[in-house]
Every structure is written in structure tokens, then in C-alpha cells.
Amino acid sequence: MKRFIVFVFLGAFVVFAGTARADEESLRAVIADLQARVETLEKKVAAQEACIQDQHKCFLEQKKTIGAQDMKLREYQAAVETLDQKLHRQEPSAIEIGRGLEIGAGATVIVQGTNNANADGTKEDRADASYSADITLAKEFESIDGRAFVHLEAGTGDGLEDNLTLYSNVNRDADNDNEVHLTEVWYEQGACHDRLALTFGKLDPTVYFDTNEAANDETTQFLGRIFRNNPTVEFPDNTLGVRFAYMPKEWVEFNIGLFDANADWDKVGDDAFCIGQAAFKPKMFGRQGNYRILGWYNDLPHTSWLTTTNDKEPAFGFALSFDQMVTEEVMLFCRYGWQDPRVYNPSLTATGDRIFSLEQSWSAGVQVEGGLWGREKDVLGFAVGQAIASGDYKKSNSALAAKSEGHLEAYYNIHLNDHLSISPDFQYIWNPFGQDVPGNTDPVCVWGLRSQIDF
């Protein structure tokens, strides 16, 4: 019996041991299978992570490409706006009538009134009008990187300018000559992908020098001369000239100009107006700015204030013109100029043939686009400045007050449609002509309304 029991226990043990061995082998097989599956899953996860990283890199490259394209688009838009500013017109000012040939036409009508027409020393209420009209033709020669431009202009009426004696008058658009004039005609040759340009013909120097994005167009921006260009720069009228431009980088441009100083096209080598300008175009906080520094020299005969027998003197000076976008709708600008205070040009006089000269001038202001109040194409402008008389001019006559003439101007350009805009305009001038008009030293207020028609 005992042997039977022993045999039973031994048999059970053998069976249990065999079963345990079989279970262990089965468990090992399961574990091995699980390990193989884990390795397979890890490989799949690694492959997916690599794919995600590749997609992220691709996304970053695409984002960088889009950013570069967006920056290039902004640069193209800025270039188009600069070209439009140079042509003194808003869209649609030119219509393409053939391959590379464009024609533009426009007219400006201005009505101004004042409480103090001070030219004769009296105080008089007065209202006057003026108009100007112009036609432009532009031709691109793409195969040789050349371009030509013709500008015809006519106008009638001095506005209030012949009734106000000021250092700097109030209607830059006035042109009291109903004859049609060839204002500009020039040819420009570009080179090195437009990094170099040579322009020659009958030129307007203010198209290339002392420009400003917020204050350089009397047909749509400020009407007062002190804000249109710096009054201490003795620019000749549209005249024979040559201009050379060099743009080594997109953010810097150099310009040099040589012009016939008296604009008479006679003995053009005798009297010269020379000017040079460096323009820097940085993007501050992603917004465009323009910072211009210029110097000039005029070889026309000038007369010394303190030694009038010295009547063959040259004149010279320098100026600054800055503008900077600070938001999508707001642009700030300023100008400053200085010229030799010792001499004056006898041909440059105020109304009433009053001789004077300036030593310094400054102006500053803001331009606000109407998008802030839901009128995207409207523009509001405000500026203030001073024309400061020459110290030697004041010394030449102890009776002169020669105070600094102050200017304030505000306008609102209302865009009615793509062909018509109107601009209410207000100007206030204190110390008119330095308070040296006998019998009238009161400030001058000027109210105006300008209409601009583009065909």
C-alpha cells in the first residue's frame, strides 16, 4: 500500500513537472512574440516621428518662403508708391495705351480766402482761385532698360499769393500762365538691374531731392510752400539738368544732380546748381522709413548783406527730410534746412518785391489714413513749421524785426471716387514776413478748398 502511494505521488510530480515545463516554454514564446511586436511598434513610431519632423521642417521652409515673398511684395508696393509720388499723381493717373506707353491727365482747382491780405500793409478780407492742369506721357523701353517722360502743364491764377507778403507763401500749385508749358521732358537709362540710373533733359529737381512721402505733393497733400519743400534749399525752376543715382543696397540710395541754376538755357556752364543726397530706407519694427541728408551749392551771383559791393558770391546749404510709418495708418515726418546767412539772391523776393533771405527752416507733422474711421482712402494731414530769417539780413537794417515766421496747416483729403477728391484746407501764419510789413503785423488765417480730378 505504501509503495502504491509512493508511486502515485511520483507520477503526479512527473506530470506536474512536465506541465510546468510546457507552460514556461509557452510563456517564453508569448514574451518573445510581445517583444517582437513592441520592436515593430517602436520602429513604426520612430518612422512616424521622423515623418513628422520632416513635415515640420517642410512647414518651416514654406513659412520662410512665404515670409520672403511677403517682404518682396511689400518692397514692390513701396517701389510703386515711390514712383507714383515722383509722378505727383494718385491712381488712376496713367492708362496704358500701348506696350510700355502710358498717358495720364489731371486738374487741380483751388479756392482760398483770408482775413488779412497784408501785401500792401492794409488788412483786407479776400478770396481768390487758381487752377492747373497737366498731361503726362511715359514710355518704357524694356529691352534696353530705358524710359522717357514728358509733362505738359498749364494754369491760371495766383490765388492769394499776390495778396500776401510772406517768407513762404500758401499755394504751391499756383501758376498764373494760361500757356501750355513743357514742364519736364527727360530720358533715363538704367543699368545693373536698376541699381544705376542716369537721367537727363529738362528736369524738376524736387522730384529727386528733398522728397518726402507725407509732404511732397501740393495736389493731394499740403498746399503751403514751407511743407512742400524746404524753403532754405535754393532749387531752380524746371531746367536743363542731369541726375545720377546709385543704389548699392535696397535700403540705401545716393543721388547727385547738376542743373542750370537760372533756368535760362543760356551759358549753361557759367551758373550751376549742384546737389547731392544720401537716402537711407530702414524698416523699423517692420515699418518703412526714409531718412534723407542733402547738401547743395549754387553758383549764381549772390550779394553780401553787410558788404553790398560783393555781388558775385555763391550760396550753399544742407537739409534733412525724414518720414517714418509708425502704424499701418500713421506716418510722421520732419524737415530741417540751413543756408549761408551772409548772402541773398536779388531775384528771389516776397510779394511787393521785398528782398529777404532765410537762414534756417524746420517743419514737422503727421499723416493719418482714414482706415482708422472706416474711410480707407481718405487722408488727414497736420503740420507746423517756421521760416527763420538770416542773422545778417537782420543786421543789415536795424529797423527790421525779422522774427521767425510760423506756419500751421491742416487738410483732410476726401476720396469721393477714383477720379475725384476734395480737400478742405486751413493755414495759420503768425509773424508774417517777420512782422516787417509796415502797418500790418497781425497773423494771417487762410481757408481753402481744393479739388483734384484724375482722368
Place of cell 553790398: 308
Give the phi and the psi of residue 52 in degrees, each rounded to 5: -65, -40
Determine the Cα–Cα distance for residues 186 and 194; give it in Å rounded to an integer: 17
Q: How much is the average pLDDT of 42-54?
A: 75
| pLDDT reported for residue 13 | 45
What percent of the chain is modeled with pLDDT above 70? Answer: 85
* Per-residue pLDDT at 125 exceeds 70: yes
Rounded to the nearest 10°, the torsion over CA 415, 416, 421, 423 is: -70
Please report which residue ranges of 380-439 form alpha helices under DSSP H: 391-395
Q: How much is the average pLDDT of 390-417?
A: 97
- Residue pair 315/298 in contact (Cβ under 8 Å)? The answer is yes
- Residue pair 365/215 in contact (Cβ under 8 Å)? The answer is yes
* Per-residue pLDDT at 87 exceeds 50: no
SS3 221: coil
Residue closest to 110 by CA, chosen among 88, 94, 132, 89: 132
* Angle, CA of 371, 376 and 380, to the nearest 5°: 75
Q: How much is the average pLDDT of 348-353?
A: 94
pTM for the full predicted model: 0.78
- pLDDT band of residue 26 (cuts 50, 70, 90) is confident
The identity of residue 346, as a single letter, is: P
How buried is 214 (Cβ within 10 angstroms: 0-12 exposed, 13-18 middle, 19+ buried)? buried
Determine the Cα–Cα distance for residues 114 and 61; give it in Å rounded to an integer: 62
Determine the Cα–Cα distance for residues 441 and 443; give it in Å rounded to an integer: 7
- pLDDT band of residue 79 (cuts 50, 70, 90) is low
| pLDDT reported for residue 340 | 97
Cell numbers for 109: 482747382
Least confident of 30-39, 82-91, 145-154: 82-91
Better pLDDT: 175 or 149: 149
Which neighbouring-strand residues pair with 339?
317
- pLDDT band of residue 11 (cuts 50, 70, 90) is low
* Angle, CA of 412, 413 and 414, to the nearest 5°: 110
| pLDDT reported for residue 73 | 58
Better pLDDT: 80 or 205: 205
Which neighbouring-strand residues pair with 106?
134, 454
Rounded to the nearest 10°, the torsion over CA 174, 180, 183, 188 is: 150
Residue closest to 186 by CA, chosen among 200, 174, 172: 200
* Per-residue pLDDT at 188 exceeds 70: yes
How buried is 428 (Cβ within 10 angstroms: 0-12 exposed, 13-18 middle, 19+ buried)? middle
SS3 47: helix
What size, in residues, is the chain?
Answer: 455
Q: How much is the average pLDDT of 6-17?
A: 46
From the CA atom positions of the chain, what is the Rg in Å? 37
* Per-residue pLDDT at 184 exceeds 80: yes
Least confident of 14-18, 154-158, 350-354, 450-454: 14-18
pLDDT tens digits, one per residue of 244-272:
999 999 999 999 999 999 888 887 778 99
pLDDT tens digits, one per residue of 102-117:
999 999 999 999 999 9
Determine the Cα–Cα distance for residues 237 and 239; give it in Å rounded to an integer: 6
* Per-residue pLDDT at 7 exceeds 70: no
What percent of the chain is modeled with pLDDT above 90? Answer: 71
| Cβ atoms within 10 Å of 219's Cβ, excluding its own | 24
| Distant-in-sequence, close-in-space partners of 38: CB < 8 Å, separation ≥ 6 | none
Host H or E run for residue 213: none
| pLDDT reported for residue 333 | 98
- pLDDT band of residue 399 (cuts 50, 70, 90) is very high
Residue closest to 275 by CA, chosen among 230, 312, 305: 230
Determine the Cα–Cα distance for residues 437 and 118; give it in Å rounded to an integer: 8
Determine the Cα–Cα distance for residues 349 and 451; give it in Å rounded to an integer: 29
| pLDDT reported for residue 98 | 60
| pLDDT reported for residue 92 | 42
- Chain mean pLDDT for the chain: 88
Give the phi and the psi of residue 58 in degrees, each rounded to 5: -60, -40
The b-or-e profile of 6-25 (16+ CB within 10 A means b, else e) is: eeeeeeeeeeeeeeeeeeee
Print the SS3 string covering 338-395: EECCCEECCCCEECCCEECCEEEEEEEEEEEEHHHHCCCCCEEEEEEEEEEECHHHHH
